[in-house]
Amino acid sequence: MQKIRVDNFSISVDGFGAGPAQDLENPIGKNGMGLHQWFFPTDAFQQMVAGRPGEKGIDNDFASKGLEQAGACIMGRNMFGPIRGDWPDGAWRGWWGETPPFHCPVFVLTNHARPSIEMEGGTTFHFETEGIHAALHRAKQAANGMDIRLCGGTSTIRQYLKEALIDQMHIAISPTILGTGEHLFNGIDLLKLGYKCIQATPSDKVMHIVIVKDK
C-alpha cells in the first residue's frame, strides 16, 4: 500500500527541526547541522555520498531503511535553497550538485513558478504552486504506486501533518538544544489527529521515534 512517510528527520530536545537564519553557510539554520550528527557517519549516508563504508549499528539501520527508494518526493521551497521571493534566474539548482540523492521526481512547494529542472541520476525538480494537496496528487501519480517521501523542511511536514496526510514518521531526537527556530509539533494535537507512537529505540547518539497514523 502506498504510504506518505517522513524518514530520518531530526529534531532537537526542545522540538526544533531547524535553527533560525537559514543561508548558504547555514542550510538548516544556525546550529541546525548539529541535529544530524547521528546520520552523517552512518554507512548508508557515507555509501550514498562518498562510496565508502561508514558506521554500522542502530543509527545505520534506521538511516538505511529511511533511504529506501521512494517513487516521488515533496519538499518545501526553503529546503530546496536559501533564495526567497521570485527566482532571479535559473542558476540555483539545489544544495546537492548535479546528481541529487533522490533519484525520482521531486515536487518543490513554492509561490513562484519555475520550469522543471532535470538533473542527473533520475531526479527532476518540479515547482508546485497550487499547494500541498496538488503537490501530493501529482506525487502520487508520479510514484506509480511506490511510497512518497516528505523530505522537509519543518514547515512542509507541519502542513501535511495538520491535515493528517502523513502515514508514518521516523523522528530522531538529537541531544541538542536550539532554543529557537522551526518547531515541529508546536500547536499540533497528534492524538486528536489519530497518531500514535509505536517505537522508541535509543542509540548512543539519538532517540529514534516512529509515529504512525492509527487506521
Domain 4-17+29-80+99-213, CATH: 3.40.430.10
- Per-residue pLDDT, 24: 85
pTM of the model: 0.94
For the chain, the structural domain boundaries read 4-17+29-80+99-213
- Per-residue pLDDT, 193: 97
Whether residue 140 contacts residue 148, with contact meaning beta carbons closer than 8 Å, is answered with yes
Q: How far apart are CA 211 and CA 190, in angstroms?
A: 9
> HSE of 72 in the Cβ direction (CA atoms, 13 Å)?
21
- Per-residue pLDDT, 69: 85
Splitting the chain (215 residues) into consecutive groups of 10 residues, what average pLDDT does each group show? 95 96 88 95 93 96 93 96 92 94 96 97 97 98 96 96 98 97 97 97 98 90
- Per-residue pLDDT, 38: 98
- Per-residue pLDDT, 33: 93
